[in-house]
Structure 1
Amino acid sequence: MGSRSVMKWPQQVSTSLVEQLIRSEKDLEKAISTFDAATAEYGFHHDQNTFGLMIKRLLSANKFMKAEDMLDRMRREKCKITESIVLSFFRAYSRVHKPHEVVRIFRKMKEYECEPTEKSYLTVFSVLVNESQLKMAFNFYRYMRQMGIPTSVASLNVLIKALCKSKGSLDSAFKIFREMPKRGHTPDSYTYGTLICGLCKAGRNLEARELLLEMEGNGCAPSVVTYSLLIHGLCQTSKLDEALELLKEMESKGIEPNVYTYSSLIDGLCKNGHTSQAMKLLERMIRKHHAPNLITYSSLIHGFCSEGKVQDAVQILDRIKLQELKPDAGLYSKIINGFCDVSKFSEAANFLDEMVLSGITPNRVTWGLHVRIHNRVVQGLCSEGNLNQAFHQYLSFRNRGISIEATTFESLVESSCSKGDLHKAARIMDEMVVDGCIPDMKTWNRILNGFWDPRKVREAAELMQSKLIEEYRSNI
């Protein structure tokens, strides 16, 4: 084994030595080799500590199958599988958003002769709720109760969160909340924060504000998360004055706003036409050493473009690049659309080129918007008489498989004819037909009128003859 060549093993191999070697080996495969060599070459019997450490390393690297193989090996070697090791599987599968795998491992606990405690039940329940597997979550909660798992503040908090996420169940969440003291449970900051979040998402901001006051009255100190959720809710309903007052309130209590707090306020200000105020808040945010993220910048770009301040939006894009954040297709689309809105199609085309050269591509969600923007830019360039740039863009997105609208083909044909480039117009119309777009009478007339010149009658006749032959053959 490779591990033997780099070190001399002592005659007595201890658990602490094996643990030390596994931890110190950065290469996972070499760590596995060391783990195996301890047994194969030196007769070491692994225990819960070494097995557990190896499993955690495998899970950290998302080597789930190998980790489960190690779990089976523990069972074969009669090494007791502890709940702590099983919980590491729950956390790992939860990290990669695989709640069904969490449930599967939970069901195998008895097979592993590992009796689940309240902690395991609560972890699985929490994972299901966090992943919005609400039907499974409610069924699992009922199963918990059947198995005699007692209610606790922690379990009721997760149940309240599930009800807040479930459509139309917010009042049921409040019913449980009000009954908690009767069951001997005192709501904590997490309980209040969850309910405030649910109220804000439901647009019930006044009730959320009242609950915040009740929370403080009951000795539960609201956190930055609680305030941020309420501020976000107020911004979503355009109650900006209240949101800004709440910002002052939290700061007066010594609660420092975070990126989410500032981003929510900036988004609300931008959506309501207050980009100047949003920029002041951005500068304040930076002074307090909170680095803006793409969501913050996206709100500002959208706000500037909505107000026709496209150059200001471009400056924000430059800030993104300086901060070494990678702008996505959505941000470029906003700027390109912004230039189109103010009829600066050449600048819009330049940003299209920049986006392509940077290797930025839209995802499935934004693909339709991406197609519309490309077509809009080409049509705009044609309307300005900028045929060369329009044709360049046309070829670019044709080569990338972007759908071309009939209106775009027609704009290109008309622009080509206006410039006297009839061969280019004919080529575009040929490609239009190949793509399944049927030219209308206006487009046909534009081509024929272009060729209808004493010097070009022959070319017009040949074109017409060719088209008639094609039509005749297609009808045979």
Structure 2
Amino acid sequence: MTVRWPRLLTPTHLSQIIRKQNNPFTAYQLFNEAKCRYPNYQHNGPVYAAMINILGNSGRISEMREVIDQMKVDSCQCKDSIFSFAIKTYASHGLLEEGISLFKSLGGFNCTDRTQTFNTLLEILLNESQLDAACQLFQQSSFGWEVKSRTQSLNLLMQSLCQRGQSELALHVFKEMDYQSCYPNRLSYLILMKGLCQDGKLHEAIHLLYSMFWRISRKGSGGDIVIYRTLLFALCDNGEIEQAVEILGKILKKGLKSPKRAHYLIDLNYCRISKLTVTEIKCLINEALIKGGIPSSDSYCAMAIDLYNENETDQGDKVVSHMLAKGFWPPSSVYEAKAAALCKEGKVDDAVKVIEEETVKGSCVPTVALYNIVLNGLCRAGKSTVAMEFLKKMAKQVGLVADKETYSTLVHGLCRENRYTEACKLLEEMVIKSHWPCSNTFNTLIRGLCSVGKPYKAVMCLEEMISQGQLPELSVWNALVSSLCFNVAGTFMWSKVLQQIKSC
């Protein structure tokens, strides 16, 4: 692609130029060429961020490392998010130690806030089950002035402990928050409440609830409804129905601050006479929390999303219906949760209706995230033809642009149905729009093209893959060799493959 350089180059202009390139290496060359063409020009933080994102997303780690080193030498002011992205990229390529090394060297960069980067590295270590390393990182780095808040990092530690069935240790971490000059937020309580209930520590969970009443729930918050519901359901599962109903009354009065006349009381005698099951009593509790509290968008959204996440789509729909009746419009997050739940249940056609009908009723414009959830469900159900139609619909909607995840999902969906030629065309469109495919996408497509006797297209994909600094798996090389050897017209292409092998 020919570039028309301006008379005077600004960082904003250079960012636009490199983002328009179809090849990340070309963007990298232009990035370096700018300083040679304009001796007085200096890169700024946003330009470095754009270049690092392009190289990281395309898997060109060595070039990304060089740009980061150059940014350090220039000492330009940069945002915390650049390093967070770089560490994620290193970790995704099996280079976690290099990510740790980058974090330790942040003192040499002109970046005053390292909170996001610190939390990113901490989360990666915890996800990799490196609890000792994560604790060491917290002890060494969380108390510096560069980390503005420790609440999120402590939440991550508590979540990791609860996932390991160590909610008692998580409770100790929670109690330490006061001494750490931190203020527990709603997520802190939710993580710990779920951990304690899963471990059967209901006594401690009840005490945690009471602590909420004089901290984050003092003014009454609808968003806390999910935390309350977690405890009430745990009590029901443990056979403590009477205590659950008693605590429900306190929640409506103290937690949700609802007036007494609005309290939705559950008749225990009726429950006993009718011999209601635990599931039926839980439905009554859900109804009490929704109808007994002060109506708010936060409470409805929190309850609906929680129910959808538990695959309770019917109960979630009831909450949304009640929400609409009260004049509250569900946000996109509610529809995304519903679509994800329907796809998990195998009800892909119903998930499609979430886009086609319900978002229109709710005056909510479908988001890219919602489309991606539905497209993934369609492709997994072998309905990539329908999924491709939705890609066309996305192109016609103002402000809705298909992203890398959209294209990757569709390419893999077409490949699963052996529609490799169509997948190849879609990959070309993906590259043109500067969404660089990952190596797994290239490997799957090249291998598939070889299996259906399309070696020419396979070689074209190989060239694109190598031009982006990625190398195919050994099995892909073997598939190419086999395909070309059995193809009489493959002599010329075979020589091209040999050249590619030599260049690697």
Q: CA–CA distance in 1 between the matches of 2:393 and 2:228? A: 39
Between 1:372-381 and 1:309-318, the stretch displaced more is 372-381
Secondary structure class of the residue paired with 2:436 = coil
Distance of aligned partners of 1:371 and 1:203 in 2 relative to their CA distance in 1, 3 Å threshold: farther
Are residue 289 (structure 1) and residue 417 (structure 2) matched? Answer: no
**Which amino acid is 1:336 matched to?**
I
**Which amino acid is 1:249 matched to?**
E
Are residue 157 (structure 1) and residue 248 (structure 2) matched? Answer: no
Are residue 90 (structure 1) and residue 193 (structure 2) matched? Answer: no
Distance of aligned partners of 1:394 and 1:198 in 2 relative to their CA distance in 1, 3 Å threshold: farther
Q: CA–CA distance in 2 between the matches of 1:350 and 1:92? A: 46
Question: Shift in Å at residue 223 of structure 1?
Answer: 1.5
1:257 to 327, 348, 366: 366
Are residue 312 (structure 1) and residue 422 (structure 2) matched? Answer: yes
**1:322 aligned partner:** 432
**1:234 aligned partner:** 342
**Which amino acid is 2:413 matched to?**
G
Cα deviations across residues 155-211 of structure 1 (Å, max 9, x unaligned)?
44246479999xx999597565345369x6457545544554455456554444344
Contact kept? 1:59, 1:92, Cα under 8 Å: no
Q: TM-score, length-normalised on structure 1?
A: 0.51
Secondary structure class of the residue paired with 2:211 = coil
Contact kept? 2:414, 2:420, Cα under 8 Å: yes
2:115 to 56, 59, 63: 59
Q: CA–CA distance in 2 between the matches of 1:344 and 1:155? A: 57
Contact kept? 2:113, 2:148, Cα under 8 Å: no
Question: Shift in Å at residue 317 of structure 1?
Answer: 1.7
Q: CA–CA distance in 2 between the matches of 1:86 and 1:93? A: 12
Q: CA–CA distance in 1 between the matches of 2:487 and 2:350? A: 44
**Which amino acid is 2:226 matched to?**
N
Cα deviations across residues 251-306 of structure 1 (Å, max 9, x unaligned)?
24321111112223333444455545433432332332212122211222133334
Q: CA–CA distance in 2 between the matches of 1:273 and 1:163? A: 40
Q: TM-score, length-normalised on structure 2?
A: 0.49
Q: Which residues in structure 2 correspond to 1:384-395 (within 5 Å)?
A: 384=487
Are residue 120 (structure 1) and residue 160 (structure 2) matched? Answer: no
Distance of aligned partners of 1:350 and 1:285 in 2 relative to their CA distance in 1, 3 Å threshold: closer
**Which amino acid is 1:146 matched to?**
H
Q: Which residues in structure 2 correspond to 1:57-456 (within 5 Å)?
A: 57-60=113-116, 62=118, 68-70=142-144, 88-91=149-152, 106-109=174-177, 111=179, 120=184, 122-126=186-190, 134=195, 143=204, 145-146=206-207, 148-151=210-213, 152=217, 153-158=222-227, 160=229, 176-180=285-289, 185-186=293-294, 188-197=296-305, 199-200=307-308, 204-236=312-344, 237-240=346-349, 243-244=352-353, 247-272=356-381, 274-286=383-395, 287-360=397-470, 370=473, 372-384=475-487
**1:37 aligned partner:** none
Q: CA–CA distance in 2 between the matches of 1:127 and 1:379? A: 53
Q: CA–CA distance in 1 between the matches of 2:147 and 2:205? A: 18
Distance of aligned partners of 1:159 and 1:335 in 2 relative to their CA distance in 1, 3 Å threshold: farther
Contact kept? 2:330, 2:362, Cα under 8 Å: no
**Which amino acid is 2:341 matched to?**
G
Distance of aligned partners of 1:86 and 1:394 in 2 relative to their CA distance in 1, 3 Å threshold: closer
Q: CA–CA distance in 1 between the matches of 2:450 and 2:500? A: 19
**Which amino acid is 1:231 matched to?**
A
Distance of aligned partners of 1:86 and 1:251 in 2 relative to their CA distance in 1, 3 Å threshold: same
Secondary structure class of the residue paired with 1:180 = helix
Distance of aligned partners of 1:278 and 1:66 in 2 relative to their CA distance in 1, 3 Å threshold: same
Cα deviations across residues 205-237 of structure 1 (Å, max 9, x unaligned)?
444434432332355432222123223433452
Contact kept? 1:128, 1:137, Cα under 8 Å: no
**Which amino acid is 1:380 matched to?**
S
Q: CA–CA distance in 2 between the matches of 1:192 and 1:371? A: 52
Contact kept? 1:125, 1:141, Cα under 8 Å: no
Question: Shift in Å at residue 328 of structure 1?
Answer: 0.6
Q: CA–CA distance in 1 between the matches of 2:233 and 2:455? A: 47
Secondary structure class of the residue paired with 2:437 = coil
**Which amino acid is 1:57 matched to?**
D
Contact kept? 1:348, 1:377, Cα under 8 Å: yes
Contact kept? 1:266, 1:278, Cα under 8 Å: yes
Higher RCO by CA contacts (8 Å cutoff, separation 6 or greater): 2
**Which amino acid is 1:323 matched to?**
K
Give ranges in structure 2 of 5+ residues lacking alignment. Answer: 1-75, 80-110, 119-136, 162-168, 239-277
Q: CA–CA distance in 1 between the matches of 2:432 and 2:156? A: 31
Matched residue count: 320
**1:79 aligned partner:** none
Distance of aligned partners of 1:252 and 1:141 in 2 relative to their CA distance in 1, 3 Å threshold: same
Cα deviations across residues 449-469 of structure 1 (Å, max 9, x unaligned)?
xxxxxxxxxxxxxxxxxxxxx
Contact kept? 2:420, 2:449, Cα under 8 Å: yes
Distance of aligned partners of 1:186 and 1:380 in 2 relative to their CA distance in 1, 3 Å threshold: farther
Contact kept? 1:192, 1:211, Cα under 8 Å: yes
Contact kept? 2:114, 2:147, Cα under 8 Å: no
Cα deviations across residues 8-32 of structure 1 (Å, max 9, x unaligned)?
xxxxxxxxxxxxxxxxx9589xxxx
**Which amino acid is 1:289 matched to?**
G
Question: Shift in Å at residue 89 of structure 1?
Answer: 0.8
Query: Over alpha carbons, which structure has the higher Rg?
Result: 1
Distance of aligned partners of 1:27 and 1:312 in 2 relative to their CA distance in 1, 3 Å threshold: closer
Distance of aligned partners of 1:199 and 1:379 in 2 relative to their CA distance in 1, 3 Å threshold: farther
Distance of aligned partners of 1:58 and 1:357 in 2 relative to their CA distance in 1, 3 Å threshold: closer
Q: Provide the alpha-carbon RMSD of the alignment.
A: 5.1
Distance of aligned partners of 1:159 and 1:330 in 2 relative to their CA distance in 1, 3 Å threshold: farther
Q: CA–CA distance in 1 between the matches of 2:186 and 2:200? A: 13
